[in-house]
């Protein structure tokens, strides 16, 4: 403990820290589970007269930065002093912790506090203190009391203003099992609420200041890492003149040496780029600060800085050999962290178990260029797995194959029996792309195909046939991904038996936002479509397109191939007549400004639509994603419904296949 100069305010207690749980949430009656929060760790120290000091994890006084929290708990204490451990958070408009908003608020506070006139607003973003532990109450120091006792005393206090202070939700393992629930179920609910994960705490554990204890185990839903800013890379193209990226370091967990962790170039706002560059200019130094020289190819154009600023990134992978964070995105500076406490991730031995559907490597040619894998019952040779197809994220062809392999159990049923049109990006999303219907030369002999009559309505190609690939098994999906077939498009009908086209089994409305509109306006149109389709006896399902818009589907029964288009067109035209300022049913692009185009024509048997769970060839590896109607109703910002490959794998792991209802609930189209 460290003495504080504030009269009557209890001493600061260095916070106890949690260890990672290694991906396995502990279970048993000895454990309690708390929500893991996305904010600033804070000790709230209250004197008997209500005077309050807020102290960060590394001992920084937060009180001036969060004045609305000073004294807020005094009414609950009836003249007693107290020390609370907790987190300061900001919520977004949907009640989810928003770390980015908290970081932006901090940046404005720094500008405000350094201004002689202090005219800059910083306190317009409401903050809330969420307490999860009670370390002192009156004259009673509770550090040696068991967690259950400290928690009971904390919960007994009446929170005077729930807008400013509350107690972090917690539930024991026994209470979960009494409700016929599991920790995994709780984790799903926490994820749906937008929290960062769970902290498992031993109910009998004492509070150990400054220690990272096995008694507290954290299970994050996303991988984050504190990093030390060691250098910057000037921006290029549209970022010319401002910061392009940061070079990152951390202390080796065994030696304590500062080691190079890689870089980060995404996740910044333009304001952050400018502000960081201004701040780092004063810290420049002639040489890098690492104990070992970083790879020369990684640090071209680098400018080095004193390693005194701590930030946080999210990342997808930590490479065991090189010790690099891969696919990073910036989350913001952590003024509440000390560089000496920033430790690099531990290198894990062995490999994580492969997903059941993932190709298993068989042989490696040694050059990294070609590798043979076992995909189901097939052996395939893959090549150029390190080739970057999404430069903004560093997302490689190997990761595309990994995604399609992992998502195969839910994707394949929606491709089965449907001729697939692929859009290939052999040189990545910034290179040339081309649509391919015919099976390319060199396709494996085991790949099933369907030879169908060509539709010449649009192409003018006249009679003829197309031999489509059928991606009905894991190996076929991996084969297509190895060709950089990022996008998979399918019709609303299947084939069989043999190369005969069946009647349509899906109805689709493609909602395309025109200039001046976004997926937010599409959601408002989708809600109206849902109501009409339900009234007509159908079961609608919504998906994002993975690009700008979305689709609304329903499973149907019909013997008239043209009937879905007729029905969809009539409905689109009705919506356009009812709300001409919001909806258009006209394909001409000059009619779409400020409106949502309901594209009914994708029900035409000659048309295809992006398949659910397909990647898109956009700036980032976004995915056409089935979503719930609650998510549609709650959408108020375009970013709420943007899902990447990793997001979708997590969603399917939590919620299963939201698109599967199309196969189980089909109904006849109404006769009108």
> E strands within 138-293?
140-141, 165-167, 170-172, 197-202, 212-220, 224-234, 243-251, 258-264, 284-285
| 99 within 8 A of 107, measured Cβ to Cβ | no
Cβ atoms within 10 Å, residue 485: 26
Q: For the packed helices 99-114 and 270-281, what is the interaxial angle rounded to 10 degrees?
A: 50
**Whole-number Å distance between alpha carbons of 377 and 363:** 16
**Whole-number Å distance between alpha carbons of 516 and 528:** 20
| 136 within 8 A of 85, measured Cβ to Cβ | no
Catalytic annotation present for 36 = yes
If phi > 0 it is left, if psi is from -120 to 50 it is alpha, else beta; for residue 462 that is left
**Whole-number Å distance between alpha carbons of 573 and 585:** 6
| Torsion on CA atoms 553, 555, 556, 562, rounded to nearest 10 | 40
Cβ atoms within 10 Å, residue 367: 7
Identify the active-site residue in 19, 30, 36, 111: 36
Burial of 359 (0-12, 13-18, 19+ CB in 10 A): buried
Residues whose CB falls within 8 Å of the CB of residue 613, separated by 6 or more in sequence, listed in order = 407, 410, 411, 414, 623, 624, 625, 626, 648, 659
Largest CA distance in the chain: 91
Q: Report the SS3 class of residue 39.
A: coil
**Whole-number Å distance between alpha carbons of 649 and 167:** 32
Active-site residues, by number, are 36
């Amino acid at each position: 403990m460290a003495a504080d100069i504030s009269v009557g305010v209890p001493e600061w207690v260095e916070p106890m820290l949690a260890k990672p749980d290694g991906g396995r949430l502990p279970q048993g009656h000895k454990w309690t589970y708390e929500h893991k929060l996305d904010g600033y760790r804070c000790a709230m120290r209250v004197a008997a007269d209500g005077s309050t000091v807020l102290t960060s994890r590394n001992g920084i006084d937060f009180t001036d930065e969060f004045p609305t929290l000073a004294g807020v708990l005094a009414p609950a204490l009836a003249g007693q002093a107290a020390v609370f451990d907790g987190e300061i958070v900001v919520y977004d408009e949907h009640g989810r912790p928003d770390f980015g908003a908290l970081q932006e608020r901090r940046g404005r506070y720094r500008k405000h506090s350094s201004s002689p006139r202090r005219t800059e607003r910083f306190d317009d973003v409401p903050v809330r203190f969420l307490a999860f532990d009670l370390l002192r109450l009156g004259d009673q120091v509770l550090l040696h009391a068991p967690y259950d006792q400290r928690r009971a005393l904390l919960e007994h206090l009446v929170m005077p203003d729930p807008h400013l202070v509350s107690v972090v939700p917690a539930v024991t393992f026994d209470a979960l099992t009494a409700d016929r629930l599991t920790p995994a179920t709780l984790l799903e609910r926490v994820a749906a609420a937008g929290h960062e994960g769970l902290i498992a705490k031993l109910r009998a554990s004492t509070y150990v200041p400054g220690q990272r204890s096995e008694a507290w185990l954290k299970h994050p839903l996303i991988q984050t890492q504190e990093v030390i800013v060691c250098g910057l890379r000037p921006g290029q193209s549209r970022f010319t003149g401002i910061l392009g990226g940061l070079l990152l370091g951390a202390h080796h967990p065994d030696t304590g040496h500062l080691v190079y962790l890689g870089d980060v170039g995404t996740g910044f706002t333009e304001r952050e780029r400018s502000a960081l560059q201004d701040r780092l200019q004063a810290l420049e130094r002639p040489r890098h600060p690492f104990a070992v020289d970083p790879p020369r190819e990684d640090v071209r154009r680098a400018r080095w800085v004193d390693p005194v600023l701590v930030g946080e990134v999210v990342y997808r992978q930590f490479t065991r050999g090189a010790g690099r964070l891969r696919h990073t995105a910036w989350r913001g500076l952590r003024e509440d962290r000390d560089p000496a406490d920033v430790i690099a991730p531990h290198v894990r031995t062995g490999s994580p178990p492969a997903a059941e559907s993932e190709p298993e490597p068989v042989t490696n040619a040694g050059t990294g260029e070609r590798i043979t894998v076992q995909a189901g019952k097939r052996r395939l040779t893959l090549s150029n797995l390190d080739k970057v197809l999404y430069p903004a994220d560093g997302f490689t062809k190997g990761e595309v194959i990994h995604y399609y392999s992992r998502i195969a159990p839910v994707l394949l049923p929606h491709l089965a029996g449907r001729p697939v049109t692929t859009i290939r990006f052999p040189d990545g999303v910034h290179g040339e792309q081309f649509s391919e219907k015919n099976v390319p030369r060199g396709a494996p002999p085991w790949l099933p195909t369907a030879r169908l009559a060509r539709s010449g309505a649009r192409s003018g190609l006249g009679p003829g046939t197309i031999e489509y690939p059928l991606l009905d098994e894991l190996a076929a999906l991996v084969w297509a991904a190895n060709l950089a077939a990022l996008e998979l498009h399918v019709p609303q009908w299947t084939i069989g038996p043999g190369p005969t086209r069946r009647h349509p089994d899906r109805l689709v409305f493609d909602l395309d936002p025109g200039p001046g509109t976004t997926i937010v306006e599409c959601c408002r149109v989708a809600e109206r479509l849902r109501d009409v389709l339900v009234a007509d006896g159908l079961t609608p399902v919504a998906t994002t397109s993975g690009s700008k818009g979305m689709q609304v589907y329903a499973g149907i029964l019909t013997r008239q191939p043209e009937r879905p288009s007729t029905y969809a067109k009539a409905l689109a035209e009705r919506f356009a007549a009812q709300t001409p300022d919001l909806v258009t049913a006209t394909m001409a692009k000059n009619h779409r400004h400020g409106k949502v185009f309901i594209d009914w024509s994708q029900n035409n048997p000659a048309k295809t639509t992006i398949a659910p769970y397909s990647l898109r060839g956009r700036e980032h590896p976004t995915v056409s994603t089935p979503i719930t109607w609650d998510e549609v109703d709650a959408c108020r910002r375009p970013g709420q419904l943007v899902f990447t490959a990793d997001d979708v794998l997590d969603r399917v792991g939590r919620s299963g296949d939201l698109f599967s209802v199309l196969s189980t609930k089909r109904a006849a189209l109404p006769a009108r």
